Amino acid sequence: MSLTLHFHPLASYCWKVLIALYENDIPFTPNLVDLGNPAERAALVKLWGIGKFPVLCDEARNETVPESSIIVEYLDRHYRGATRFIPDDTGRALQARLRDRFYDLYVHLPMQKIMIDRMRPADKRDPLGVEEARAQLRTSYAMIERQMATGGWAAGQDFGLADCAAAPSLFYGSMVVPFEQTQTHLTGYFERLKARPSFARVVREAEPYFNMVPKES
């Protein structure tokens, strides 16, 4: 196969790319990377000096593509399928990218802050930073609740890039800051995401690793 994805099935940014691959049935070779293995980490760093996954390698085009949003846009450009992740219309494309950034920066990052803090020794934790992250998630949830009042997907009536970002962000975000019972539009959107076959497959494949998700102590 031309495409190889270097990833981990539990990593939320990897989920974003996997959703895009599964949406359009794009064939690829998965390469699971254990960052705790020095040789595997070194191999990833050789591909992308930052040493973070996902990284997509395209043998046919001799391209190495890091960063989840860039990978999804690369797939949309070079391996286009029935699901379009970035609309051709300039205005709609900007909206898709804005929503993608919103979910990555204001849902995903605060969620990660809380998850990573749970993995730290008790004397190294950052309770103020965690509370700030919780506050950011609550603010973001309220914005999504308003955005989703008319249904649909993150950037309109079509599933796209922003939904690939939203699915893992909300999945893990709801573990650290549950949705309010009154947030019916947010909850409904999350249920639509979970029912999407591409996302359901990602979650199913990650299930054997869920015991590694840090729990609140």
CATH number of the CATH domain containing 10: 3.40.30.10
Report yes or no on 162 lying in a domain. yes
**In-domain check, residue 203:** no
Question: Is 175 within 8 Å of 213 (Cβ atoms)?
Answer: yes
**Residues 108 and 56 both lie in one domain:** no
Give tens-digit pLDDT for 13-65: 999 999 999 999 999 999 999 999 999 999 999 999 999 999 999 999 999 99
Q: Is residue 217 over pLDDT 70?
A: no
**What pLDDT does 1 receive?**
63
What pLDDT shows up at residue 5? 98
pLDDT the model gives residue 216: 79
Is the domain of 99 the same as that of 179? yes
Same domain, 37 and 67: yes
pLDDT digits (tens, 9 = 90+) for 114-173: 999 998 998 899 999 999 999 999 999 999 999 999 999 999 999 999 999 999 999 999
Residues 101 and 185 in one domain: yes
* 205 in any annotated domain: no
Same domain? For 95 and 189 the reply is yes
SS3 state of residue 154: coil
Q: How many CB atoms lie within 10 A of CB 193?
A: 24
Is residue 211, in this structure, part of any structural domain at all?
Answer: no
Taking 70 as the threshold, does the pLDDT of residue 191 lie above it? Answer: yes
pLDDT mean over 185-194: 98
pTM: predicted TM-score of the whole model, two decimal places: 0.95
Q: Residue range 207-216: average pLDDT?
A: 91
The pLDDT of 186-205, averaged and rounded, is 98
Say if strands 29-32 and 55-58 run parallel, antiparallel, or are unpaired: unpaired
Examine residue 207 and state whether it is found in any structural domain, yes or no: no
- What does the alpha-carbon distance between residue 137 and residue 107 come to, in Å, rounded to a whole number? 6
Domain tally, the chain = 2
Residues 98 and 179 in one domain: yes
Residue 154 in any domain: the answer is yes
Integer CA distances (angstroms), 83 to 26, 68, 106, 143, 158, in order: 11, 17, 25, 26, 8
pLDDT at residue 76 in the model: 97
Do 187 and 94 lie in one domain? The reply is: yes
164 and 95 in one domain? Answer: yes
The answer for residues whose C-beta is within 8 angstroms of residue 51's C-beta and 6 or more apart is: 35, 41, 44, 45
> Do 109 and 179 share a domain, yes or no?
yes
Q: What is the CATH number of the domain that holds 145?
A: 1.20.1050.10
Would you call 70 helix, strand, or coil by DSSP? Answer: helix
- pLDDT for the residue 210: 94
Which residue range is the domain that position 161 belongs to?
90-196
In a domain, 59, yes or no: yes
Please indicate, yes or no, whether residues 111 and 145 belong to a single structural domain of this protein.
Answer: yes
Residue 171, in any domain of the structure: yes
The whole-number pLDDT of residue 215 equals 85
